[in-house]
Structure 1
Amino acid sequence: MDTSQPLVVTLPACPTRDEVARLCAALGAAPPGDVVCEVGALARADLAAVDALARLRLAAGRRGHRIRFRGAGPDLRALLLLTGLDAALEA
């Protein structure tokens, strides 16, 4: 596996717990490195989205990954700021 490029995972529009678990498992199977999580497809910026991103961030951290969230809209950015997950946002 090429670790010079970040691993890119995409959060679906309405992520289910099973989909988030699958993405977390993919992070667990990958060697430590940079991860970019595409979040632009999320249908709504709500607590379910924040829960999914928090789970991904925890899974990434446990495996030594550095995760960044890319494509977050203003509403999701505001929620991530309130929850302390804004440090993982890409500019």
Structure 2
Amino acid sequence: MSSGHAGGLLVVDTSSTLHVRLSGPPAPEDVGRLCALLEAAEPGLVVCEIGGLGRGGLGAVDALARLRLVARRRGHRLEFRGTGPELRELLGLVGLRELL
């Protein structure tokens, strides 16, 4: 099953591994929906493609940190894939490189 949204949340695949792709900077309501999805899902692997975030920004950093926190609380293994060098550098500057 997949669903689309005009904001930053593009695809949600509810197979055994949960796949999420961010196609752009997520709006606060997108992050809320993703967190609710993680809260409702059985613990397992969650793969989050974030190549669409590009350079990111502090909003992207906040979104990734929130997703990691919810995933950790629910027992998910969260993997971020497709991180660009600018976002990696920004995460390092704010002390959150371990998110990746």
Tell me, yes or no, whether TM beats 0.5: yes
Whether 2:76 is the aligned partner of 1:47: answer: no
Query: Bigger relative contact order, structure 1 or 2, given CA contacts below 8 A and separation 6+?
Result: 1
- The aligned runs of 1:1-91 (5 Å cut-off) are 3=16, 6-89=17-100
Unaligned runs of 5+ in 2: 1-13
In 1, are the aligned partners of 2:64 and 2:99 still within 8 Å (CA)? no
Cα deviation digits, residues 8-53 of structure 1 (max 9, x gap): 1112302100001001111111100111111001143211110010
- TM-aligned CA deviation for residue 81 of structure 1: 2.2
Greater strand proportion: 2
Unaligned runs of 5+ in 1: none
Q: Quote the RMSD (CA, aligned, Å).
A: 1.7
In 1, are the aligned partners of 2:54 and 2:84 still within 8 Å (CA)? no
Q: Secondary structure at the match of 2:65?
A: helix
Q: Which amino acid aligns with 2:56?
A: A
Number of corresponding residues: 87
List structure 1 runs of 4+ shifted beyond 6 angstroms.
none
In 1, are the aligned partners of 2:47 and 2:79 still within 8 Å (CA)? yes
Question: Identity, % of aligned pairs?
Answer: 59
